[in-house]
Amino acid sequence: MSTYSLSDGLASGPPRVARAPLLASWVRESGVGILASVAWIAFGLSCLWWEDVGDWSRTHSLGIAALVIAAIALFGTVGADYLGSAGRGLRQRAPWLVALGAFLTLWEVATAKFAWLPLPFFPPPQSIIEVYTDDLPKLLDSVFASVKLQLGGYLIGATVGFLTGVSIGWSRAVGYWVHPVLRFIGPLPATAWLPIAFFTFPSSWSASTFLIALATGFPVTVLTWSGVASVSNAYYDVARTLGAKPSFLVLKVAIPAALPHVFVGLFMGLGSSFAVLVVAEMIGVKAGLGWYLQWAQGWAAYANMYAALIVTSLLCSGAITLLFSIRDRLLVWQKGTVKW
Amino acid sequence: MVAATALAEIDAHPAAGAALDIEQVSHAFDIDSAELPVLSDVSISVEPGEFVALLGPSGCGKSTLLRLVAGLDKPRSGTLREDEARITRPHPSRVVVFQDPTLFPWRTVWDNVALGLEAQGVLKSQRHCVDAALDLVGLSDFRTAYPHQLSGGMAQRVALARALVNDPKILILDEPLGKLDSLTRISMQAELVSLWQRKGFTTLLVTHDAEEALVLANRVIVFSDRPARVKADIRVDRPYPRHRGDPYLADLRRQILGLLGLDATW
Ligand SMILES: Nc1ncnc2c1ncn2[C@@H]1O[C@H](COP(=O)(O)OP(=O)(O)OP(=O)(O)O)[C@@H](O)[C@H]1O
Ligand SMILES: [Mg+2]
């Protein structure tokens, strides 16, 4: 209440008092945006001003692009009030734009212009852009191969892990037989199977799928199991007195109650399966981002390596974001879930 | 002499309530290899449509007895029968409202109330019963809320609606009104009585509150300390709606509190 009356008083006060805060708030809201624009102008000029020490074809276009981004940042943040949610988003991210512009300027100057950093190992931004424009088909092929392998292995591993976990948690007999196997095999890093897998499986693709599924399946199994096992008996009592059959108890009580645990397992499985994916592609599969990284390193094509690394990171992060959004949708009933 | 209105209602639905026979039931739990006797030779015979309140000291074994009646546990000795049929497992004709509401946190209020109908595979044809039950407990506006968004008393009312929607023959209530504020409690007591009169189900109600027992029940059974034995079986022959100030009930209340170990100054 008191804050309302305070702002009411401010609005109806003398105009001279009201105008100064208005200017101040305009500077506060747009100042960072102007700074971001300055940082990107600096980056653009640093590209265009000096001669490159090496032979890169995209320097000029990169410089122009940086200036365009600077212009967008400037008009976007100054005119944010007329741009709706896009303007608000831009203002919110302005500090990051400043940091990014400054970092890129420094990078450009330290590599392409004065070679303060040893050159083949630290490629300038324009050479990474060059990879994305000139080596795009190969990179896309690799992305496609990786996504296919990862998706297949992960889905198989998650499904098998989930079903195994539910069965162990539910049935004593299944638990008796599967639990010791799980204890023996589960903690072994999936990569330890690499040599065996690659000569026992008919193809390197099926071997890698198996390994990714294994890396995913173990955490999913264990957490699903512990989730099902920790469901309070009170829930089963309620359902049974209301006439629930065993299938109802599994599908409508045990599984939904265990779902938060299952998602922890899915996250852990996703993390460890990424590791297996990259290693498997480096060693056995002749396709995918892991293979691309390996190939780039072999040819000392460091720009390609960084380019592939950035793509890999975006893909992994994207996968985790996707899983988070699925979880948030399925577990709306939980309070206080983590924002990714 | 049961109240005339109640009698009429029960006669109008002769099949609505089931008889319950508890015959020489004893039960015990094993705690650290020692045996903890909880029920000792309890025999109670409940007529169809009776409203029986169970009173007893905390921890004496009331909830345990209710679990046996529900068929969730088997007694160490003795038998329980519903209409002559031996109780060996849970059945939706005997519905329990537990001491904790135990709503399913992943289901909305509406879906929680629909649980029994869904489990029995009749939800499609009886969706209106869910709405009616929610109306009855005054929570229609919360049908899409999740349990963590409810207060303790509201959760308890949802649990009550979840039981009532199944049209039970024996309604088993374990302190269902314990968490309600005194006003809601009094109005829920009235609702419970009118519901019981309308539907005619047999009711077993555990409560700590002698007054509540006397306002609601035909019959009040007082248990001893653990292991629980039947200490007294008191008929309450007063018409409904009953009044808390009724001197006859006040007298019974004094008598019951005496049995529970409180002296006559109460
Ligand atoms: N599953 C169990 N395992 C072991 N002991 C139990 C179990 N359930 C109940 N008991 C014991 O049985 C006794 C009776 O418990 P019960 O829950 O029936 O009491 P109650 O009469 O309902 O008490 P209150 O009025 O406080 O709810 C208690 O001493 C308790 O410790
Ligand atoms: Mg109890």
Q: What is the pLDDT of residue B6?
A: 38
Domain contains B100 = yes
* Rounded distance from Cα A241 to ligand 2 centre (Å): 17
**Element (DSSP H or E) covering residue B68:** helix B62-70
- What CA–CA distance (Å, rounded) separates A109 from B79? 90
Instruction: Return the bridge partners of B230, or none.
Output: B223
- pLDDT over 90, % of chain B: 33
Mean pLDDT, range B210-237, rounded to an integer: 89
Closest CA to B17 of B44, B52, B47: B47
Burial class (CB in 10 A: 0-12, 13-18, 19+), A25: exposed
Regarding beta strands B94-97 and B34-46, do their DSSP bridges make them parallel or antiparallel, or are they unpaired?
Answer: unpaired
pLDDT in tens, A145-167: 899 999 999 999 999 999 999 99
Residue located via tokens 């519905």: B95
Return the number of CB contacts < 8 Å for A and B. Answer: 71
* Rounded distance from Cα B140 to ligand 2 centre (Å): 29
Q: What is the pLDDT of residue A20?
A: 66
Flag whether pLDDT at B13 surpasses 60: no
What is the residue-averaged pLDDT of chain B?
A: 86
Q: What is the pLDDT of residue B112?
A: 95
Flag whether pLDDT at A12 surpasses 60: no
Which of B70, B91, B115 has the CB atom closest to A239's CB atom?
B115
- What CA–CA distance (Å, rounded) separates A299 from A284? 18
Mean pLDDT, range A47-55, rounded to an integer: 84
- What CA–CA distance (Å, rounded) separates A315 from A277? 12
Flag whether pLDDT at A201 surpasses 50: yes
Poorest-pLDDT segment among A138-142, A291-295, A331-335: A331-335
Residue-wise DSSP of A252-292: IIIHHHHHHHHHHHHHHHHHHHHHHHHHHHHHT-SSSHHHH
- CATH fold, domain A136-330, is MetI-like fold (1.10.3720)
Domain contains B43 = yes
Domain contains B266 = no
Residue A64 to residues A41, A69, A70, A115, A131: CA-CA distances in angstroms? 9, 9, 10, 22, 18
Residue A253 to residues A227, B4, B93: CA-CA distances in angstroms? 11, 44, 21
Q: What is the pLDDT of residue B239?
A: 86
Sheet containing strand B77-82, strands side by side: B34-46, B20-31, B77-82, B85-86
Residue A299 to residues A293, A304, A310, B244: CA-CA distances in angstroms? 10, 10, 19, 93
- pLDDT over 90, % of chain A: 36
Flag whether pLDDT at A100 surpasses 80: yes
Residue numbers in A near B115 (CB within 8 A): 238-239, 242
Residue range of the domain that includes B121: 2-259
Domain contains B265 = no
Residue of B nearest to A232 (CA): B102
Flag whether pLDDT at A199 surpasses 70: yes
Residue-wise DSSP of B202-238: EEEEE-S-HHHHHHH-SEEEEE-SSSB-EEEEEE---
Domain ranges of chain A: 6-115, 136-330
User: How many Å lie between the alpha carbon of A325 and the closest alpha carbon of chain B?
Assistant: 17
Q: Cβ distance A153 to A213 under 8 Å?
A: yes
- What CA–CA distance (Å, rounded) separates A227 from A218? 14
**Element (DSSP H or E) covering residue A319:** helix A302-330
pLDDT in tens, B27-55: 999 988 888 888 888 899 999 999 999 99
Residues of A with CB under 8 A from a CB of B: 232, 234-235, 237-245, 248, 252-253, 256-257, 259, 331-335
Flag whether pLDDT at A1 surpasses 70: no
Closest CA to A222 of A174, A183, A173: A183
The CB of B60 under 6 Å from ligand 1? The reply is: yes
Q: How many CB atoms lie within 10 A of CB B219?
A: 18
Residue-wise DSSP of A186-225: TTS-GGGGHHHHHHHSSSHHHHHHHHHHHHHHHHHHHHHH
Flag whether pLDDT at A14 surpasses 70: no
Mutation pick for ligand 1 pocket among B32, B42, B55, B64 (CB with most ligand atoms within 8 Å): B64
> How many domains does chain B fold into?
1
Tell me the HSE value of A285 on the side-chain side, using a 13 A CA sphere: 30
Which residues, other chains included, contact B118 with Cβ-Cβ below 8 Å and sequence gap of 6+?
Answer: A248, A252, B111
* Rounded distance from Cα A338 to ligand 2 centre (Å): 37
pLDDT in tens, B174-199: 988 877 788 888 888 888 898 888 88
Poorest-pLDDT segment among A99-108, A256-265, B6-15, B35-44: B6-15
**Element (DSSP H or E) covering residue A56:** none
* Rounded distance from Cα B38 to ligand 1 centre (Å): 8
Which of B70, B89, B98 has the CB atom closest to A234's CB atom?
B98
Tokens of A162: 């989930």
Residue numbers in B near A237 (CB within 8 A): 67, 70, 72, 96, 98, 102
**Backbone phi, then psi, for B217, in 5-degree steps?**
-100, 155
Flag whether pLDDT at A46 surpasses 70: yes
Mean pLDDT, range A321-327, rounded to an integer: 90
Q: Check whether the bond before B241 is cis (ω within 30° of 0).
A: yes
Closest CA to B96 of A254, A244, A237, A246: A237
Q: What is the pLDDT of residue A340?
A: 59
Interface ipTM > 0.95:
no
The CB of B58 under 6 Å from ligand 1? The reply is: yes
Q: Who has greater pLDDT, A335 or A314?
A: A314
Q: How many CB atoms lie within 10 A of CB A330?
A: 15
Cite the DSSP H helix spans in B115-209: 115-119, 127-136, 152-164, 182-199
Flag whether pLDDT at A4 surpasses 80: no
CB contact under 8 A, A333 and B146: yes
Give the confidence band of B202 by pLDDT, cuts at 50, 70, 90. Answer: very high
Largest Cα–Cα separation, chain A: 85
Q: What is the pLDDT of residue A304?
A: 87
pLDDT in tens, B72-111: 999 999 889 988 888 989 998 999 998 888 999 999 999 9
Residue numbers in B near A245 (CB within 8 A): 119
Mean pLDDT, range B250-261, rounded to an integer: 85
Q: Cβ distance B1 to B188 under 8 Å?
A: no
- What CA–CA distance (Å, rounded) separates A242 from B94? 8
Flag whether pLDDT at B7 surpasses 60: no
CATH of the domain at B60: 3.40.50.300
Which residues, other chains included, contact A130 with Cβ-Cβ below 8 Å and sequence gap of 6+?
Answer: A56, A57, A58, A303
